Amino acid sequence: MNPHHVLTPRQLCRECDPDSLGFTTTDELQVPRGLNLQTRAAEALCFGLGIQRRGYNLYVMGEPGSGRHELVLQELRSRVRNEPAGDDLCVVRNFQDPYAPRWLSLPAGNGAPFVASMQAWLADLANALKSFERELVAQAIGSMLAGLRERWAGIATLVDYLDALAGDLLQQLERLHGELQDMDQLESWLDDPGSLAGRYQVHLLVSREGAEGAPLEYWNGKGRSSLFGAIEPRIQPGSGQEDLRLLRAGALQRANGGYLVLDAENLLTDMELWRDFKQLLATGRLEPERSHSGTEGVAFAPMALPVRLQVVMIGERDLYYQLAEQDADFLRLFKVQVDFDDRLEWNATNQSAYVTMLASLIEREELLPMRVEAVARMVEEGARLVEDAERITTNLGVLADILRETDYWARQAGSDCMRREHVERSIQEWERRASRVRERFHEDILRNNVMIHTEGRLVAQVNGLMVVEAGDYVFGLPSRITATAWLGEGEIIDIEREAQLGGALHSKGVMILSQFVGARYARTRSLSVTASLVFEQSYGPLDGDSASLGELCALLSALADLPMAQYLGVTGSVNQFGEVQSVGAVNEKIEGFFDICVARGLTGEQGVILPASNMVNLMLRQDLVQAVQAGRFHLYAVDHVDQAMALLIGLEAGQCDEHGEFPLDTINGRVASRLLEFARLRQEQENPSRDDERDKHAEHD
């Protein structure tokens, strides 16, 4: 087996060389329009918007701050400029069904002129017919309608409506004559929804006059009516006449003929709203349910409105997979997924794009220019944010926050540009604002309220490294893991699980290590040991398997009765073969143990054992890197539990021979010998007659 790796300072944090960036300050950089770091997502977005087929709506997924909304709206604003404007939308009476108003769709810009021409026609009609004899009214109406028909002859929907209006008006001659005879003021007659003027009024709900390109709406999630429109106008008391002026267009009516952008969480908070929205996408028709209103209890709703639009829904990645699994309609209606990555490979090409994006954010936010050394530090922080020395973040929201705060500290210092020390200050100040909880944990450890040893050696005790999440702040802490072992029946007790504090992943980790012990040391005999594992002074829920390496080391130390170094912290998970696997938040875990050691005083022995596969994730703080460089702190990367045990105990782990036996003077030899002794004792307890026979033979001899 390969020995463990002693990590060098260069392996602890990848640095960005300022000289490789090729500028002095960011104001020297040319920022191209439309720049983004999401090539795959941009291509998927263009495809989805371009195909223009039913069901090819888009679900845009990714982490908050990834620039999803910005890229979607930027692409749509560019696209709609070159597409035809949508229609104006008016609502009028339905003369066949007075409780189901009609929609009138007119070419963009015609809605307001048509409303005005109808208003003028009604005024002219009233003035002209007020003095007409009853028998001449029908003739006059026909003559006056001819002018309207001639003006709007090119729009078929208006011709049909005017024909229907003419037929209805002829049936209302008696009422019309009576109203005109009793009319005191023209304005009040025209404004009365219960009059015949109100019956023939046209109400403009959506106007595209002056619009440049296709409709584009972003729904803010503020209620059903803001999406579907207000479709329940008030009935006028005593008249039974609905006032269509109280109708309001929603985002769907305004987006008709174009694009609707919305956030998935806003839509899915109301499952009835989601059901009706799916029906609209499936049928292409907005069909409101009839509702009862007014003193007469009439059922009222506008007629179905044909809807042609493309929906771009923005949401979390987990929500997409949940909908795909649980909603049979979802994938049929949202055929295009636009997946925003949260990281990019850190290579020369992507580094250049990343730096240009930083310059774009600085320009957009009107911040001070940034010096190249500070930009290099931002590149390094981009890798730190994704815990990967080979990747950089695409989370523009977090980067913008750092830049704004860096600008603040630069201005506070009276600087004309943002420098590296200002970036460092912004990161440190954010941590200081968030670190109250961490300080309380540290205080408990340093005052020995929580028992953590950072010097000396103890049997069956190890410093496991864990992380604590406090909102968006994550920090590492050591936690003492202890083990006990005694003669038993092959059971390893997970005290956290028994106390209902351990989660499923932690319990899985304990079960895996128990299988490793049995498979390695008791292949041909029963595992005659009972053991227990616990995180001491842990009072809350605990989950994850990242401590299983530490738990296994504590258990082996208990079995071998060999003390382990308390000046080393341990993180890593193990599989059934004892191989050490990578864990998350490795930087925070290492730094958490380092901070406790610094507070107590570095001795030159202290350090951390971590999985070798986590070396690629190391982006550690400079003070820790400097301590390693000075030989005051150490990092050891291991591939197998044997390497970790050799480091912790200072004795060779030992390899088994062709007979499966370990050398007695090794760690594994001590463990195997102890388990063999347990097996012998258990056999004697289960077969006491054999002991009596041996005693008789001994007396006879």
How far apart (Å, rounded) are the C-alpha atoms in residues 33 and 394?
Answer: 18
Residues 410 and 469 in one domain: no
- Asked if residue 225 and residue 170 are part of one domain, the reply reads no
CB 377 within 8 A of CB 406: no
- CATH number of the CATH domain containing 244: 3.40.50.300
For residues 629 and 618, membership in a common domain is answered with: yes
Count of domains for the chain: 4
Among 66, 538, 548, 589, the active-site one is 589
Residue pair 208/249 in contact (Cβ under 8 Å)? The answer is no
- Report percent pLDDT > 90 for the chain: 61
Q: Indicate whether 123 and 249 sit together in one domain.
A: no
Query: What's the average model confidence in pLDDT over 446-465?
Result: 95
Residue 522 inside a domain? The answer is yes
Among 417, 434, 451, the domain boundary falls at: 434
pLDDT tens readout for residues 18-54: 999 999 999 999 888 766 778 888 899 999 999 989 9
Q: How far apart are CA 290 and CA 195, in angstroms?
A: 24
Q: Is 373 helix (H, G, I), strand (E, B) or coil?
A: helix
Within-domain flag for 3: no
What's the CA gap between 388 and 42, in Å, rounded? 24
Sign of CA dihedral 162, 164, 167, 170: negative
Residue 586 forms part of a structural domain:
yes
Catalogue the E-assigned strands of 198-347: 203-206, 216-219, 259-263, 285-286, 291-293, 298-300, 305-306, 310-315, 336-339, 343-345
Average predicted confidence (pLDDT) for the chain: 89
Are 219 and 294 contained in the same domain? yes
User: Could you tell me if 641 and 549 are in contact, meaning their C-beta atoms sit under 8 angstroms apart?
Assistant: yes
Q: Are residues 502 and 389 in the same domain?
A: no
Give the pLDDT of residue 542.
77
Q: What is the pLDDT of residue 187?
A: 85
589 is catalytic: yes
**Lowest mean pLDDT, pick from 251-260, 281-290, 330-339, 342-351:** 281-290
Asked if 270 and 327 sit in the same domain, the reply is: yes
Same domain, 503 and 575: yes
Q: Give the residue numbers spanning the domain of 203.
A: 87-210
Per the domain annotation, does 179 fall within a domain? Answer: yes
Encode pLDDT of 187-220 as tens digits.
888 888 888 888 888 999 999 998 989 999 999 8
C-alpha–C-alpha distance, residues 607 and 178, integer Å: 99
- Confidence tier at 240 by pLDDT (50, 70, 90): very low
Answer whether residue 221 shows pLDDT above 50.
yes
| Shared domain check, 456 and 540 | yes
How far is residue 163 CA from its own chain's centroid? 55
Average of per-residue pLDDT across 11-21: 96
3-state secondary structure 37-102: CCHHHHHHHHHHHHHCCCCECEEEECCCCCCHHHHHHHHHHHHHCCCCCCCEEEEECCCCCCCCCE
Q: Cα(286)–Cα(277) distance, rounded to whole angstroms?
A: 9
- pLDDT single digits (tens) 297-311: 556 677 888 999 999
Task: Report the CATH number at residue 601.
Answer: 3.30.230.10
- Better-predicted residue by pLDDT, 40 or 410: 410
26 within some domain: no
316 phi and psi, to 5 degrees?
Answer: -75, 155
Question: Does 534 score more than 80 pLDDT?
Answer: yes
Over pLDDT 70: what percentage of the chain? 93
Q: Which of 262 and 99 is assigned the larger pLDDT?
A: 262
**Is 229 in the same domain as 133?**
no
Which candidate in 66, 207, 360, 546 is catalytic? 546
- Average pLDDT for residues 351-356, to the nearest whole number? 93
Range of 61-70, 400-409, 497-506 with top mean pLDDT: 400-409
Domain end position, chosen among 655, 676, 691: 655
HSE-CB at 307 with a 13 A cutoff on CA atoms is: 28
Last residue of a domain, one of 163, 186, 210: 210
Residues 428 and 456 in one domain: no
Q: How far apart are CA 467 and CA 589, in angstroms?
A: 6
Same domain, 270 and 370: no
Please tell me which residue, 499 or 276, carries the higher pLDDT value. 276
User: Does residue 670 fall inside a structural domain?
Assistant: no
Report if residue 425 sits inside a domain. Answer: yes
Q: Looking at the domain assignment, is residue 401 inside a domain?
A: yes
The CATH number for 375's domain is 1.10.8.60
